[in-house]
Amino acid sequence: MSDWPTVRFEDLAAPEKSAISKPYGSAFTAKDYVDSGVPMVRGVNLGTGRFVDDGFVYISDSKANQIPGANLRGGDLVFTHRGIIGQVAMVPRSPRFPRYVLSTSQVKARLDPSLALSDFYLYWFLSPAGQRALLSGISTVGVPGLAQPVATIKAIQVPHPPLAVQRAITDVLGALNDKIAVNDRIVATCLELMRSHYEKAISAGSHDVVLGELATFANKQRVPLSSQERNARPGPYPYYGAAGVVGYVDNFLFEGARLLVGEDGSVITPEGRPVTQYVWGKFWVNNHAHVLTGTTISTELLSIALHFTSVGPLVTGAVQPKLSMSNLRRLEVPIPSTEILAELEPTSAGVYQRIRSASTETRHLVKLRDTLLPELMSERLRVKDVEKVVEEAV
Burial of 32 (0-12, 13-18, 19+ CB in 10 A): middle
Nearest to 50 by CA among 119, 137, 133: 119
Mean pLDDT for 355-382 is: 87
| Share above pLDDT 90 across residues of the chain, in percent, rounded to a whole number | 60
pLDDT of residue 121: 95
Domain positions in the chain are 6-160, 162-190+350-393, 206-336
Which has more pLDDT, 71 or 377?
Answer: 71
* Position 170 pLDDT exceeds 60: yes
Chain centre distance of CA 112:
27
Residue 117 phi/psi, 5-degree rounding, is -95, 125
Burial of 381 (0-12, 13-18, 19+ CB in 10 A): middle
Domain 206-336 has CATH 3.90.220.20: yes
Reported confidence tier of residue 308, pLDDT bands at 50, 70, 90: very high
Q: Which of 10-24, 46-60, 95-109 has the lowest mean pLDDT?
A: 46-60
Whether 6-160 and 206-336 share one fold: the answer is: yes
Cα angle, residue 351 at apex, residues 350 and 357 outer, rounded to 5°: 90
CATH class of 6-160: alpha beta
Q: Which of 28-32, 77-81, 313-317, 331-335 has the lowest mean pLDDT?
A: 28-32
pLDDT of residue 142: 57
pTM: 0.74
| Share above pLDDT 70 across residues of the chain, in percent, rounded to a whole number | 97
